[in-house]
A = this chain, B = another copy of it.
Amino acid sequence: MEIRVIIADDHTIIREGLKSLLEKKGVTVIAIAKNGREAIDLAIIHQPDVVMMDISMPDLNGVEATATIRQKVPHTKIIALSMHSSKQIIDKMFAAGASGYILKESAFDELYNAIQEVNKGNFYLTPSIARMYVDSQGNMIKDIDDMPKFKGISKKEREVLQLVAEGEKTRNIAEKLSVSIKTIETHRTNIMKKLGIFTIAGLTKFAIKEGIVSLE
């Protein structure tokens, strides 16, 4: 059976390379996204079987994009494609509703395997990471809808924080999120109060440290 896949990664080389490899294996790459927001839009339009989702992307990161896609296109499965094996990041991704997690240093065959498994409705975890999970928790992943809070920062606030740290002005953020400028101002003020950081530069550094935005 044909598997229809969307690739989301901010690095063109990876997008194109992955597409080339998947197509060799007979997987149909129906669309390519270069950030989380594009991934959401394309997932809604194309209703793919699987999304290969990079975690750190500009504009809207992979964790948030995963949560939104899981909500709006529930039958679409998501595999996180990451460079990091930090437990914190993995937890976030599965909490957001990912079905698989593989590393960029994994072999392509493993990635192909993951797509097959996830498409069948199973979970897939890179073996090295799976070992870490079984040791610490015992139980595997459960489908949690609500994302764990991040230092008291709400989902929307985190989204605003990312855009602020990426250099967007309030007006542009308001347009992107289709709300009023006043709303964004309120969010930004609340973020600053919660974090105790009162400058754009400070917020930017915080967002970089926390992996909310990348330096690329």
**Could you list which residues of chain A lie within 8 angstroms of chain B, going by C-beta atoms?**
10-14, 16-18, 20-21, 24, 81, 83-85, 103-108, 111, 164-169, 197-205, 208-209, 213, 215-216
- The distance in angstroms between the C-alpha atoms of A206 and B24, with both chains bound, is 39
Known: A83-B216, A208-B205. A14 touches B16 (CB 8 A): no
Select A17's contact among B83, B108, B202, beta carbons within 8 Å: B108
**Total identical chains:** 2
Known: A21-B17, A24-B20, A169-B199. A12 touches B204 (CB 8 A): no
B104 lies within 8 A of A13 (CB): yes
Closest CB in chain B relative to A27 CB, distance in Å: 13
A-B contact sample (9 more), CB < 8 A, given A167-B199, A201-B201: A11-B105, A12-B104, A12-B108, A13-B106, A13-B111, A14-B14, A85-B216, A167-B197, A205-B216
Question: Residues of B contacting A200 with CB < 8 Å?
Answer: 167, 199-201, 204
Select A13's contact among B14, B166, B201, B208, beta carbons within 8 Å: B14
A11 lies within 8 A of B104 (CB): yes
- The distance in angstroms between the C-alpha atoms of A11 and B102, with both chains bound, is 12
Question: Residues of B contacting A85 with CB < 8 Å?
Answer: 216
B107 lies within 8 A of A12 (CB): yes
Closest 3 CB pairs of A and B: A17-B17, A167-B199, A167-B201
- The distance in angstroms between the C-alpha atoms of A24 and B23, with both chains bound, is 12
Question: Residues of B contacting A209 with CB < 8 Å?
Answer: 215
- A-B contact list, 9 entries, CB within 8 Å: A13-B111, A14-B17, A17-B20, A84-B216, A85-B216, A167-B197, A167-B198, A204-B204, A209-B215
A208 lies within 8 A of B199 (CB): no
- The distance in angstroms between the C-alpha atoms of A166 and B201, with both chains bound, is 6
Closest CB in chain B relative to A55 CB, distance in Å: 13
B105 lies within 8 A of A13 (CB): yes
- The distance in angstroms between the C-alpha atoms of A205 and B169, with both chains bound, is 16
Closest CB in chain B relative to A191 CB, distance in Å: 13
In the complex, which residue of chain B has the Cβ closest to the Cβ of A85?
Answer: B216
